């Protein structure tokens, strides 16, 4: 049986509103991820977080960043904005992966856990074969982490509603790249098939089971195949009367029957009831 992990990528104050490299919608994304994990965390065999944890990442930091290859200083190791977002830190996390101490390190697979194991080793040690990726930012670290998971032979999904891009244009390009690579992208509400419509089940019984369409029914609404189950030879036509003459003959058979009804007065009930029986004036009715 396959085992699945959830990778929560770089949901840190430094990448949320108020941080040094803020992504619009970061805080709301953190809350949505926390709600999802609270609801469906039991569906995962492993939950892993990644964090930018920069010490001296070289040219990754710049006082004059181009926001493509160079960026303002952010998520410096040991600072508050490098820690996990409060909404994520409150969850039950199995492993925390830190990356980028001395390099850019966009992908979570460039990071290590507290024992020095790279992310891929952590996942393989736990026999994980399928991963779901969420976090910040879709256009950069989420995309790169998802692509690396796929390259390492894991079935990979990204939940589009649990991530945000740096810009919508970059997000669109990232989604196209992931789609071309084979990363499945879907909303978290469809993650485990909880919203699939049940298939129509055939009503028990043989009647009408072979009727595949309205064409199988005649003008009277009966299944033609059902009628075929009965052979005309099995029907006794001896009592069938096809015209008025036969019907008169049948009724004549009752003329000679004496039902022995006595026309005496004992069937006369006219004197057994009078007006006094319907006088209710002495009843005290109080609503």
Among 18, 23, 15, 88, which Cα is nearest to 52's? 15
Segment 168-184 shows an average pLDDT of 98
Residue 143 belongs to a domain: yes
Could you tell me the strand order of the sheet in which 130-136 lies? 95-99, 46-52, 4-9, 130-136, 155-164, 184-186
Determine whether 10 is an active site residue: yes
Residue 270 belongs to a domain: no
Please write the tens of the pLDDT for every residue from 132-169: 999 999 999 999 999 999 999 999 999 999 999 999 99
Q: Which domain holds residue 186?
A: 4-190
Mean pLDDT, the chain, rounded, equals 83
Q: Is the pLDDT of residue 77 over 60?
A: yes
Task: Please report, rounded to a whole number, the percentage of residues in the chain having pLDDT higher than 70.
Answer: 67
Determine whether 29 is an active site residue: no
Residue 145 belongs to a domain: yes
* Chain center to CA of 124: 29
Residue 263 belongs to a domain: no
CA distance 282 to 287: 16
* Cβ count within 10 A of residue 240: 8
Distances (CA, A) of 229 to 72, 90, 208, 224, 236: 82, 68, 12, 9, 16
Distances (CA, A) of 6 to 81, 129, 174, 283: 22, 11, 20, 81
Q: How many domains does the chain have?
A: 1
Please write the tens of the pLDDT for every residue from 78-100: 999 999 999 999 999 999 999 99
Q: Is the pLDDT of residue 107 over 50?
A: yes
Segment 13-24 shows an average pLDDT of 97
Residue 157 has a pLDDT of 98
Residue 53 belongs to a domain: yes
The CATH number for 51's domain is 3.40.50.850
Residue from 10, 52, 132, 148 carrying the catalytic annotation:
10
Residue from 16, 29, 98, 99 carrying the catalytic annotation:
99
Residues pairing with 71 in the sheet? 61
Q: Is the pLDDT of residue 261 over 70?
A: no
Residue 73 has a pLDDT of 96
Exposed / middle / buried, residue 193 (Cβ in 10 Å: 0-12, 13-18, 19+): exposed
Residue from 29, 141, 143, 148 carrying the catalytic annotation:
141
Using the structure block, give the residue that is written with the tokens 């609801």: 39
Q: Kindly indicate the confidence band of residue 279, based on its pLDDT and cuts at 50, 70 and 90.
A: low
Q: Is the pLDDT of residue 51 over 90?
A: yes
Determine whether 98 is an active site residue: no
Residue 111 belongs to a domain: yes
Residue 247 has a pLDDT of 60
Segment 271-282 shows an average pLDDT of 60
């Amino acid at each position: 049986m396959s085992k699945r992990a959830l990778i929560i990528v770089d949901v840190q104050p430094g990448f949320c509103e108020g941080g040094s490299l803020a992504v619009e919608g970061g805080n709301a994304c953190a809350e949505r991820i926390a709600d999802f994990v609270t609801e469906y965390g039991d569906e995962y065999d492993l939950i892993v977080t990644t964090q930018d944890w920069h010490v001296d990442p070289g040219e990754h930091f710049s006082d004059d960043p181009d926001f493509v290859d160079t960026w303002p200083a952010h998520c410096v190791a040991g600072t508050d904005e490098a820690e996990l977002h409060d909404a994520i830190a409150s969850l039950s996390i199995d492993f925390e992966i830190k990356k980028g101490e001395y390099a850019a390190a966009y992908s979570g697979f460039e990071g290590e856990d507290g024992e020095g194991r790279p992310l891929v080793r952590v996942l393989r040690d736990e026999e994980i074969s399928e991963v779901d990726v969420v976090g910040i930012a879709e256009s950069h670290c989420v995309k790169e982490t998802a692509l690396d998971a796929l390259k390492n032979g894991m079935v990979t999904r990204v939940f589009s509603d649990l991530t945000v891009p740096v810009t919508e244009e970059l997000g669109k390009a990232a989604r196209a790249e992931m789609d071309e690579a084979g990363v499945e992208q879907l909303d978290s509400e469809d993650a485990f098939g909880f919203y699939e419509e049940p298939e129509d089940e055939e009503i028990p019984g043989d009647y009408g089971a072979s009727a595949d369409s309205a064409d199988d029914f005649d003008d009277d609404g009966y299944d033609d195949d059902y009628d075929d189950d009965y052979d005309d030879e099995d029907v006794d036509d001896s009592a069938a009367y096809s015209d008025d003459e036969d019907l008169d003959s049948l009724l004549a058979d009752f003329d000679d029957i004496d039902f022995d009804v006595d026309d005496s007065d004992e069937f006369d009930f006219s004197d057994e009831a009078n007006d006094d029986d319907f006088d209710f004036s002495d009843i005290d009715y109080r609503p």
